[in-house]
Amino acid sequence: MTTFKEAARLQELPPYLFAEIDKKKAELRAKGMDLISLGIGDPDMPTPKHIVEAMQKAAANPETHPYPPYDGAPQFKKAACAWMKKYYNVEFDPSTECLTLIGSKEGIAHIPWTFVNPGDAVLVPSPGYPVYSSATTFCGGIPHFMPLTRENKFLPDLKKIPEDILKKTKIMFLNYPNNPTSAVATREFFQDVVALAKKYNFIICHDAAYMEIFYDGKRPLSIFQVEGAKDVAIEMHSLSKTFNMTGWRLGFAVGNKAIVQSLAKMKTHLDSGAFVAIQDAGVAALQSPESVLTEIRNIYQQRRDKLVSVLKAHGWDIMVPEATFYVWAATPKGVKAKDFAVKVMEQTGVVITPGTGFGDYGEGYVRFSLTAPPEKLEEAVHRLQKL
Ligand SMILES: *Cc1c(COP(=O)(O)O)cnc(C)c1O
């Protein structure tokens, strides 16, 4: 039989850290155990009805059927910039400083292709979304991991990045509110990062996928709310988590005109844009009354409060999230993340994610996701109490 060897770039990726968890899951399921997954970051709730209806209407219109404009439908980009103005009071020119993305993952994956040459350094948070480092290595870049530690409130310690790395850095990835730690960034931190990027001439790519999932009325910051960010930054926004639209594949980038335009140029070689009917539905989403967002947030807040209060009462060491639909918890002293996740699964059937799935500095932590329906979450909390 002919065999086809994968390219070195694919073979060289770090091993899939969830393989063991998946194996354990299959094993327990085969034994008849009723598993509850708090492992995945995918909303359990449907896309709001008015967005689905906008899509149905747009899809029936033949004008949406040809290739979309490469950089995005003007009406969607206009709505995206209006959104940034309304909720963050930052201004962008829809025609030059905004770009439609086929989900924010697409933009994140292609920004290294746009700017990184072999041997360039890319600053990547650890723990973090795996795409930052895999996309970097695909184009010959060298990820330099920035540890997110509890002592530093899960923000990278900028003073610890070696000068020789900073000199070779093309891009710094950041992600606040943060997956998996649920940390939020402070204004001072963003100010320091912008100053550093200017000093060493690198791009800040801020992954803002969780901007809208926040608690207690405390809206997280866009990096563009600090002065000078537009000289060095691009921010990747997503409709996925905000509007329960993960399957639709829609997001947008806003930021520095030259950065946005270079990414747009790269994309003309790789894809042909997002279906215009989906972008039209995106307009409906971005123009939703705020009550749509508050309702989604309130549901997560109730779930967060429930999980956090019960686990805390039972002695768990929990970081109470101010944003995101994740809860980051320390494992008992000396217990490895993977061993702990497996143990929890064996004893309770509750599936959680070991922190090491997001990088070496996730060791000592596990992540709970709040994206399970209430009765499942309730049952999971009940079982965890008995652990
Ligand atoms: C879910 C997620 C994304 C990707 O979102 P899409 O817009 O659906 O591609 C990006 N970054 C982080 C940290 C995420 O958790």
pLDDT digits (tens, 9 = 90+) for 167-224: 999 999 999 999 999 999 999 999 999 999 999 999 999 999 999 999 999 999 999 9
Q: Whose CA is nearest to atom 1 of ligand 1?
A: 209
What is the distance in A from the centroid of ligand 1 to the CA of 42? 10
- Choose one of 111, 207, 286 to mutate for the ligand 1 pocket test, by most ligand atoms within 8 angstroms of C-beta: 207
Answer yes or no: are the C-beta atoms of 248 and 278 closer than 8 Å.
Answer: yes
Q: Is 371 in the pocket of ligand 1 (CB under 6 A)?
A: no
> Residue 278: its pLDDT value, please?
98
Report H helices in 31-185. Answer: 49-59, 74-88, 104-115, 131-138, 163-168
Q: What percentage of residues in the chain have a pLDDT greater than 70?
A: 99
Mean pLDDT of 296-301: 96
Is residue 17 scored above 70 in pLDDT?
Answer: no
- Choose one of 108, 132, 238, 370 to mutate for the ligand 1 pocket test, by most ligand atoms within 8 angstroms of C-beta: 238
Is residue 76 scored above 70 in pLDDT?
Answer: yes
Joined tokens for residue 275: 């279906």
Model pTM score: 0.97
Q: Whose CA is nearest to atom 14 of ligand 1?
A: 209
Largest CA distance in the chain: 61
pLDDT in tens, 219-261: 999 999 999 999 999 999 999 999 999 999 999 999 999 999 9
Q: Band the pLDDT of 361: cuts 50, 70, 90.
A: very high
Q: How far apart are CA 150 and CA 154, in angstroms?
A: 5
Query: Hey, what domains does the chain have and what are their CATH numbers?
Result: 8-46+291-385 (3.90.1150.10), 49-286 (3.40.640.10)
> Residue 24: its pLDDT value, please?
87
> Residue 121: its pLDDT value, please?
98
Arithmetic mean of pLDDT over the chain: 95
Give the three-class secondary structure for 319.
Answer: strand
- Choose one of 129, 173, 249, 353 to mutate for the ligand 1 pocket test, by most ligand atoms within 8 angstroms of C-beta: 129
Q: Whose CA is nearest to atom 11 of ligand 1?
A: 209
Q: Is 207 in the pocket of ligand 1 (CB under 6 A)?
A: yes
**Best CA proximity match to 361, nearest among 119, 111, 151:** 151
